[in-house]
Amino acid sequence: MVWIIVAIVIVLILVVLVATYNRFVMLRARIDNAWAQVQVQLKRRWDLIPNLVETVKGYAAHESKTLEAVVAARSAAVSATTPAESAQAESGLTGALRQLLAVVESYPDLKANQNFMSLQGDLRDTEDKISYARQFFNDTVMNYNIAIARFPGVLIAGLFNFHSRESFETPESEQAAPAVSFGEAPVAEAAPSVAAEAAPAAEAAAEAAPSVAESESGSKSESEA
C-alpha cells in the first residue's frame, strides 16, 4: 500500500515537472516569435529612412548635419542585437527623425512633395505597427518572467536553466513626446477663444438685467400714481 502511494506521488511530481517544463518552452518560443515580429517592423522603418533622407536632401542639401545624424542613428539601430540595445538605439533614431521632420517645416515645397508625403505616411504607419509589436513582445516577456519566478516554476527554471528575458522598453521621454504633424491646424486652442469671446457678452447681459428691472419698476410706480 505504501509503495502505491509513493508511486502515485512520484507520477504526480513527474507530471507537474513535464507540464511546467513544456509551458516554459512554449513561452520562450512565443518570446522569440514576438521579437521576430518586432524586428520585421523595425527593418521596415530602416528601409524607409534612406529614401526619406534622399528626398529631404533634394530640397535641403545644406542640412547635412541633421541628415548625417539620421544616417548614424539608423546604423546604430541596425547594429543592435539585444532588446535593451535595440530600445536604446531606436530611441536615438526616433529623436533624429523627429529633428529631421522639424527641419522640414521650413521647406513648404518639400512638405508638398508627393514622394515625401507618401514616405511620411508609411513611416507613421510603421511607427504604429512597431508600437503594437513592442507591446505584444513586452507582455509575452512579462508572462514568461512571472512564470519562472513563481513556485514551483522557480525550481524547475533553475534546474533546466530557464533565465529571465529582457523587455523592449521605451524611454519615458519618448513616450511623452508629441507627434510631429504638418498642415493641421490646432483644434484644441479654438475652445478657449470662443469662451473668451462669449464672456464679455455674458457680462453685458448680466449688467443689463438690473437696468431692465429698474425700468419696469418705474413704469409700474407711474401707472399706480
129-172 tens-digit pLDDT? 999 999 999 999 999 999 999 988 999 999 999 999 999 987 65
At residue 63, the pLDDT reads 85
Backbone CA torsion sign across 215, 219, 220, 225:
positive
pLDDT digits (tens, 9 = 90+) for 41-77: 999 999 999 999 999 988 887 888 999 999 999 999 9
Q: What is the mean pLDDT of residues 172-191?
A: 43
CA 5, chain centre distance (Å): 55
Model confidence at 194, pLDDT cuts 50, 70, 90, reads very low
- Which residues contact residue 16 at a Cβ distance below 8 angstroms, ignoring those fewer than 6 apart? 152
Q: What is the mean pLDDT of residues 88-109?
A: 91
**pTM attached to this predicted model:** 0.71
**What pLDDT sits at residue 94?**
92
pLDDT given at position 61:
78
Residue 117 has pLDDT above 60, yes or no: yes
CA distance 100 to 52: 10
Task: Provide the pLDDT for residue 75.
Answer: 95
Residue 148 to residue 165: CA distance in whole angstroms:
10
Torsion of the alpha carbons at 136, 140, 141 and 144, rounded to the nearest 10? 170
CB atoms inside a 10 Å sphere around CB 77:
23
User: Pick from 38, 40, 45: which is nearest to 119 by CA?
Assistant: 45
Per-residue pLDDT at 3 exceeds 50: yes
* Residue 202: pLDDT over 50: no
Contact between 15 and 128 under an 8 Å Cβ cutoff? The reply is no
Q: Which residue has the cell 542639401?
A: 61
Sign of CA dihedral 27, 28, 29, 33: positive
Q: What pLDDT is attached to residue 186?
A: 40
The sign one gets for the Cα dihedral 73, 74, 79, 80 is positive
Cα-Cα-Cα-Cα torsion 128, 131, 133, 138, nearest 10 degrees, comes to -170
Return the percentage of the chain with pLDDT > 90, whole number.
60
Asked if residue 190 has pLDDT above 50, the reply is: no
C-alpha 134: how far from chain center: 9
Residue 129 is predicted with a pLDDT of 95
Domains of the chain in start order, with CATH, are 17-182 (1.20.1440.20)
Q: Return the higher-pLDDT residue of 222 and 129.
A: 129
